[in-house]
Structure 1
Amino acid sequence: MSRHENLDIDTVPEYAENSVDTQTKAAFAARPAWAYRLETWLPRLVVAPTFLCSLIFVYGFILWTGWLSLTKSRLLPRNDWAGLVQYQKLFASERWWVACQNLLIFGGLFIAICLILGVLIAVLLDQRIRLEGTLRTIYLYPMALSFIVTGTAWKWMLTPGLGLEKLMRDWGWQTFTFDWLIDPDMAIYTIVIAGVWQSTGFVVALFLAGLRGIDDAIIKAARVDGAGPWRIYLRIVIPSLRPVFFSTFMILGHIAVKSFDLVMALTGGGPGYATDLPATYMYTYSFTRGQIGLGSASAMVMLGGVLAVVVPYLYSELGRKRHD
């Protein structure tokens, strides 16, 4: 008779599990001491290069940029302390305030239009319409492009004598003009158009995911109580999407603050400096005008703007996790 024949069938898995655990513990106990040290330090050694590079090339250069903003650096870095001289020059610059004003216009319209269109399109796609997958792909396709490609394409379409203006005149509207791209008062709105076209699909995807995550039982109960579609969306669906609204606002705000490539490809900051944003201002003074100190000061102010957007988002997310 085998030594396992007297075991009850129900006890076999437990016995096997205990046997495996015993063997595993014995194998671990038999390992040399260096194996324990290697197991402990190997993950740290693997992560260390990435952590060190991030520490140097992100946070280290942020600190260096902050230091340069407090010096009289021009074409080359200098280490002489100058206090807040560069910040005084920055805030006395008319071009800087034009860039900040453009950021408010671009950022406000960009965020508002993306949110409105994103919600409306997501609600329409949530009705289980035909070709939903095709339409979702069409709206998401611009997100696969870089802002350089988007800016170049829209520059072709909006340049007077080409694109939209030429198309309309070829169709018979000989007096049609669309010269926003060369109009100092209207050029900033061409950046809004291109930015909205690029980012709306991303917003649609976020809100569509949020809509699909709402409990259908709540909506069915509201319908039983006699609530119509508009009331359901205004009283139940939209309030349930509050976290999505907040997250989307933070992401779009972050994109608006650091916008650079779209402006450079579409308008180059012109005509003149009518479409300058803080990012293009920083690039111009740092790399083309030999004003490293002034460019560093503008970069630090931009960092403050990004932190003003990101920190409340992180604080709200961490606070919500603590409550959960």
Structure 2
Amino acid sequence: MPGNEQSVQFSYAKTDGDKLIHIGAAIRNGKYLCPGCHEPMIPVLGEHKAKHFRHHKAVCSYESYLHQAAKMAIYHRLLNEDTVTLTLARVAQCKSPKADLFAGFHEPCNVFIPARYNLKTLFNQVELEHHDPETGLKPDVLLTNTNSKAKCYLEIYVTHPCSVEKISSGIPILEFHVTSEADITALISCELSVEETDLTHYNFKPVDRVVDNCLDECKNALVGIDIWSISPNGRLQKHTQKYKDFEHTEVSTSCAWPKALPSSLQLGRLRDMLQQADPAGVHANCLNCVFASNWDDGFLNCNKKHARVPYTEAKLCAQYRPLS
């Protein structure tokens, strides 16, 4: 989280106009109040100590101060700024045509991508510590839209997390965990996200997104895909590429599939490929023999000879019986 204020307490105070001010903007003779206890605070602006606000007389709970200051920070931001960005994680489902190369052997790739919202577009009214008349609950900050029934609760968590009652209401809730001055600074200046603020959200699920292009963070990116062909003399040829290196329609699923495909399935796929490449059966090939089974990287079991043979054995084999 940004900021270097973890070692400084009471960096914020309220002005006479009930606005939150940072010690960096304070003036020596200004009048300031504590956001927590509402008692006077004095700006300490010396050169030798870190600048901060000091209570004039009262002894204030630091937890109460953090809670109230954080509420004011997010409230005034939503009240005064045109754009307040919320970023949540959205599941992106890959529907790339090249996923067909997996032949059902690998699950399609789902990754998390950012879902960004402008809270000021979603909600046009912001209220501080206002009861929700529909639920009877009082969030720290209530966001509503006067043109719809949309609403959202913003909660500040210092020592007490969001109540079960609020969560079970079904209302979307954004809960910010605040433990230091730096967390308040983040609420004022940073994108509202898990990465930049300590954010937990409830009842706020972005709709999954379907994409038709391979995702940059594809979990299958390094899967090896074998691409097969047959030479003019009938020999099989194979080269392997990583899935991420394919263009979407570069090869046909009839001649390309995962390197790790089980041998029994590879045998069937190779036979289908040979049938398309050599429909007249010009080239004798053990793959097309009724006695062949258990393909293993160029070798098969010959159930007639009871031996392991190379697939090219058929060219000189008197027992060769092509599949019908």
TM class, shorter-length = under 0.3
Q: Which has the larger radius of gyration?
A: 2
Q: Relative contact order, CA 8 A, sep 6+: which one is greater?
A: 1
**TM-score, scaled to structure 2:** 0.20
Structure number having the greater helix percentage: 1
Structure number having the greater strand percentage: 2
**TM-score, scaled to structure 1:** 0.20
